[in-house]
Amino acid sequence: MKPMHLSLALAATLLAGAASAQQYTVKVGAAYINPNATSDDLTGTMTLNVEGVPFTITKPVDAGIQLEVQPQTAFIFSIARSFTDNWEAEVLLGFPPRHDVKMRMNNARIKQLSTLNPEGPLPDGVSNYSVIASKHIASYDGKVVSSLTQFAPTAFINYKFGSAQSTWRPYVGVGVNFTHVKPDPSAAGEAFYNDGKVKTKVSDSWGLALQAGISYHIDDTWLINASYATAQVANKIEIQTASGATQYGKYKFNPSIWMLTVGRKF
């Protein structure tokens, strides 16, 4: 069994049947999620049906075209079960957030060509078609071309400092994250290619997760909790248009997740 699968199974076992403290804590609240996620340069081929060009342009993907996932807020909840006064297992869930994805174009030549007049005069070796295509590509820099809905359950083993009677209880946790992503192209994303329906696939990810936080215990039942979490997430991207042109990319990022919740102990 892989270590990450073993960690998840351990957390589930602890939640289902701890033998000692037998105290559950349920927390609900909000999270601000900054994915810190910009893909590497897309590779492969792209087909463009650009206005002003009388033929379809099929060519290798230009260097410097990337996809950047935008921050989002989300509703979250977790359930934890203590098995000593200092140790607990926690599963963090939430309503799957939907992140906008913007195109980023970091190619100096495309930017230069996009400033030219396709009617000329043009530098040697530059066609009016390449100028029109460059203007088209550059015009999508910063536009939302897709969205990603992520389902990312995370299991932690937490160590809580202090005693069960402490008002303030800092804690740290280590665990495993699973991230499943559902991509959806936007109208702008399909208009960029103008090549029929865009199909996007994103691989799943397993990775190490860490968190740190502090709980303020109002009384024996209620608490307020603030925490920060991150995880190792890596996804592969495949984008295919109707003509069969396919682009590939990778994300490798460590999201920053800031959470504020209210908890109740049972």
**What is the structure's pLDDT at 18?**
44
Are the beta carbons of 245 and 195 closer than 8 angstroms?
yes
Give the strand pairing for 205-217 and 168-185: antiparallel
Are the beta carbons of 168 and 214 closer than 8 angstroms?
yes
Per-residue pLDDT of the chain (266 residues; tens, 9 = 90+): 454 454 455 555 555 544 445 589 999 999 999 999 999 999 999 888 887 777 787 888 889 999 999 999 999 999 999 999 999 999 999 999 999 999 999 999 999 999 998 887 888 888 888 888 889 999 999 999 999 999 999 999 999 999 989 999 999 999 999 999 999 999 999 989 888 888 999 999 999 999 999 999 999 999 999 999 999 999 999 999 888 889 999 988 889 999 999 999 99
Whole-model pTM?
A: 0.85
**What is the structure's pLDDT at 20?**
46
Are the beta carbons of 236 and 252 closer than 8 angstroms?
no
SS3 of 149-197: EEECCEEEEEEECCCCCCCEEEEEEEEEEEEEEEEEECHHHHHHHCCCC
Residues with Cβ < 8 Å from 13, sequence gap 6 or more?
Answer: none
**What is the structure's pLDDT at 108?**
92
**What is the structure's pLDDT at 3?**
44
The Cα 219–Cα 118 span in angstroms is: 72
Phi, psi of 238 (to 5 degrees): -135, 125
**What are the b/e assignments for 148-182, b being 16+ CB within 10 Å?**
bebebebbbbbebeeeeeeeebebebebbbbbebe
Q: How far is CA 103 from CA 56, 139, 141, 152, 256, in A?
A: 22, 10, 5, 24, 21
Q: Which residue has the tokens 């990810």?
A: 205
Nearest-10 Cα torsion for 202, 204, 207, 211: 80
Structure tokens at 43: 């590779």
In which domain, by residue range, is 74 found? 3-265
**What is the structure's pLDDT at 144?**
96
**What is the structure's pLDDT at 193?**
87
Are the beta carbons of 229 and 11 closer than 8 angstroms?
no
Q: How many domains does the chain have?
A: 1
* CATH number, domain containing residue 163: 2.40.160.20
Residue among 237, 140, 155 at smallest CA distance from 189:
140
Structure tokens at 60: 């290798």
